[in-house]
Homo-oligomer: A and B are copies of this chain.
Amino acid sequence: DKPFVLIAGPCAMESRDHAIEMAAALTDMCGSLGIGLIYKSSYDKGNRTSIDAPRGIGMAKALEVFAEIRERFGCPVITDVHDAGQCAPVAEVADVLQIPAFLCRQTDLLVAAAQTGRAINVKKGQFLAPWDMKNVAAKLVASGNDRVMLCERGASFGYNTLVSDMRSIPIMAETGFPIVFDATHSVQQPGGQGDRSGGQREFVPVLARAAMAVGIAALFVETHENPDRAPSDGPNMVPLRDMPALLARLQAFDRLAKD
């Protein structure tokens, strides 16, 4: 029943300078609020809707930046891995490895991630029931790693829409692992704009408040100083300037939920 940790950052790492700026802003903000921060960005968007969509700055470059962020701001970092071969190099820098939702059943990836010994945040596939995640967690544990986090990020609900089932938080919590709620991907509209995904940014505070009240260990929020210009996931990211008020509000719900 410790206070929630924030996993936040821009969806994609855009450049070293942008990442440093974002990390500075977020560590500053979280410092003021007394919220633990894990800095998040992706070095490669490997499953974009369209092949023409930008993918990111690449693993090697990103790992340098993540190392600089860890050192400079003293905050742990998390990034997602997409195949088994990426796990070991990423684990040399990242404190937490994240398994993308589409890949949450890929045994080789889970095993390789687990074997790094790093903490693992697995996103629940949009196609899975919350009770199915115990089998996913078991793949990690069987590989010798019980530093597992399970993350709700929406379930398929008809086409091009997700729904957030708040029951999944206590159901996944029965595994004993900490539960993360991803408030920005939960409002994604997959493929909802034809050749890219849409999103409903206005519902991030709604779902985040609900999840906080239910009780979560960590909140995942992607943020950007100008989401509408972001290379990916703009429609569902929270503007950086809205974060302090949002976090302060959520902190109150978190305290109450854990009272």
Contact = CB atoms under 8 A, between A and B. Distances in A.
A135 interface: yes
Given A209-B257, A213-B210, A190 B82 contact: no
A87 interface: no
A247 interface: no
Given A159-B161, A257-B209, A170 B51 contact: no
Interface residues of A, number: 65
Nearest to A209: B213
Interface stretch (A104-112, A217-225, A232-240): A104-112
A79 interface: no
Interface in A242-259: 252-253, 256-257, 259
Interface string A76-110: 00000011110000000000000000110111101
Interface stretch (A17-25, A61-69, A124-132): A124-132
A102 B125 contact: yes
A211 interface: yes
A157 interface: yes
A214 interface: yes
B156 A126 contact: yes
Given A163-B163, A210-B211, A210-B213, 8 more contacts: A48-B107, A102-B102, A102-B103, A155-B156, A158-B163, A167-B200, A210-B210, A253-B253
Interface of A: 46-52, 55, 82-85, 102-103, 105-108, 110-111, 125-132, 135, 138-139, 142-143, 155-161, 163-167, 169-170, 190-191, 195, 200, 203, 206-207, 209-214, 252-253, 256-257, 259
Query: When A and B form their complex, which 9 residue pairs have the shortest distance between CB atoms, in order from nearest?
Result: A158-B158, A213-B213, A129-B159, A210-B210, A156-B156, A47-B105, A132-B191, A51-B139, A209-B213
